[in-house]
Amino acid sequence: MYFKNYPLHFLQLNCGLKMAYQTFGNKTDPAIILLEGMGSDMYAYNDTHCIVPLVNLGYYVIRIEHRDNGQSDFMTDYKCKKIKQGLPNVINKYSKGAFPLNHKNIPYSLYDIVDDVRQLLDYLQIEKLYLVGHSMGGMIAQVFSLLYRKRTLGLLLCSTTSEQIASHLPSAALIKDIYKMFIPKNKDSTLRDYRQTHYKYFKKMCGDLIEPDYLKKYSNKKYETMGVHPLEYKNGGDRQLISITACPSRTFALNLFQLLPLTRIPIHIIHGTKDTVLPVDNAFFMLKNIRHSTCNVVHGAGHCMCKPFFKEIISIMKNKKNEYNINK
């Protein structure tokens, strides 16, 4: 069984939104947080291949959903003054590289999402932890590590990039294709229509290694737990896309922190060779430009958290736990 009905909790954030999260394991164990990508949800880190093995290794695992994702609150009442919401306008500005860096002009930034994460960790009284981030989640993990270095034990960056420039981000044409995965054709579309559409395009993104049975169950789980109409997923995706493209590059700062032993942390990069959203060249770029990082390439994997990715994560975290036990 990939997904079980574990208790779901909500934290009231300072911004007024509620964040959905789950915790697993013993709170006295080393903590690890799992950060999902744009338009995704916490179940991208499934129970069988990720949650249970990490808990069995002796980790306290936190699984969350960012604002505008999954069962967390959506900013449905937000009206952006400078950037009108809606897919055509967002894609047009995205393709021209016209997003402003002034955070006053955007719904929210990755820094705001990082602060959401910080609030949750403060609430749970977690002082230090490892961060695993997929795609946008990897970008959030990077920003967190730069702002809260003393709280960061290490980063596992999956299918992500440390750059902002257009050559390192998905093309506008591909973004349009990705949006088809989240959006039904019209307001009369049912959740069943959404589930079928999601399965079709998610399969296209996932490469050769995704298990068909898991893919169907994940699409069903997303369908069952959806707290808003699928059309709201589009608006949430718009806002998340803006926050991604408005975030400055992190490469230089990450590399700078790695220079000194006092601020150096383990940075592990995991990437699929068939990732069409953020191609594997992003992994090689980070490996080359961020000191003391390591990279594991998963041949045949696309832009998804598949079983081989989880095996890499479990292997890395097993080594970290062994080091922790030795130094304890």
Q: Which domains does the chain show, CATH number per domain?
A: 9-327 (3.40.50.1820)
pLDDT in tens, 161-197: 999 876 677 776 777 666 666 665 555 556 666 666 6
Could you tell me which of 20, 26, 18, 14 has the C-alpha nearest to residue 64? 20
% of residues, the chain, pLDDT over 90: 49
Q: Which residues pair with 33 in a beta bridge?
A: 62, 131
Q: Single out the residue of 75, 50, 76 nearest to residue 63, CA to CA.
A: 50
Alpha-carbon distance of 264 to 129, in angstroms, equals: 15
Q: Which of 64-68, 90-94, 245-249, 314-318 has the lowest mean pLDDT?
A: 90-94
Rounded Cα–Cα distance for residues 229 and 234 (Å): 10
Cα 206 from Cα 30, distance rounded (Å): 31
Per-residue tokens: 160: 């992500």
Residue 129 forms beta bridges with which residues? 31, 152
What would the mean pLDDT of 93-112 be, rounded to a whole number?
A: 65
Share of the chain above pLDDT 70, in %: 73
Check whether 83 has a pLDDT greater than 70. no
- Alpha carbon 262 to chain centroid, angstroms: 27
Are the beta carbons of 146 and 260 closer than 8 angstroms? no
236-290: pLDDT as tens digits = 777 888 888 888 899 999 999 999 999 999 999 999 999 988 999 999 999 999 9
